[in-house]
Structure 1
Amino acid sequence: MIALIIAGLLGVTLLVGYITVLIGIRREDKALSLRQRPDGVSASLARKVTGCYVRNGVSWT
């Protein structure tokens, strides 16, 4: 029973993280803002997960 609860919580956590990354990617794409610093938590997380970051105003992947 406890294993099922832990598995459910882990599944929900992964789903929330996945949705947050999707929202961040859409925000970045819509704003065309890859050359600037991310403006929110979802955008920042999306960049960390995808490996895209900004150094001195230049976007690196």
Structure 2
Amino acid sequence: MSWLPLIIAALLSITVLVGYVMVMVGIRRQDKALSLRRYPGGASASLARKVTGCYVRDGVSWT
């Protein structure tokens, strides 16, 4: 049995898991800071907004 598909699957699942955790951390940070109407404060918050489709235009948050 070849180990290559198993290694590829493990790497992909780790990548998806890390991305998911980063988005969850960004959402949690934005929610705690009550700063959804302002520009994101960090990389995780910015990633969370890009993934969820929430962005800020002229100081107003649009979803």
Query: Runs (4+) of structure 1 moved beyond 6 Å?
Result: none
* Identity in percent: 72
- Where does residue 8 of structure 2 map in the other structure? 6
1:32 & 1:51 partners in 2: Cα distance? Answer: 18
Q: TM (normalized to structure 1)?
A: 0.96
The 5 A counterparts of 1:21-40 are 21-40=23-42
Matched, 1:44 2:53: no
Root-mean-square deviation over aligned CA pairs: 0.5
The number of aligned residues is: 61
Q: TM (normalized to structure 2)?
A: 0.93
Gaps of 5+ in 2: none
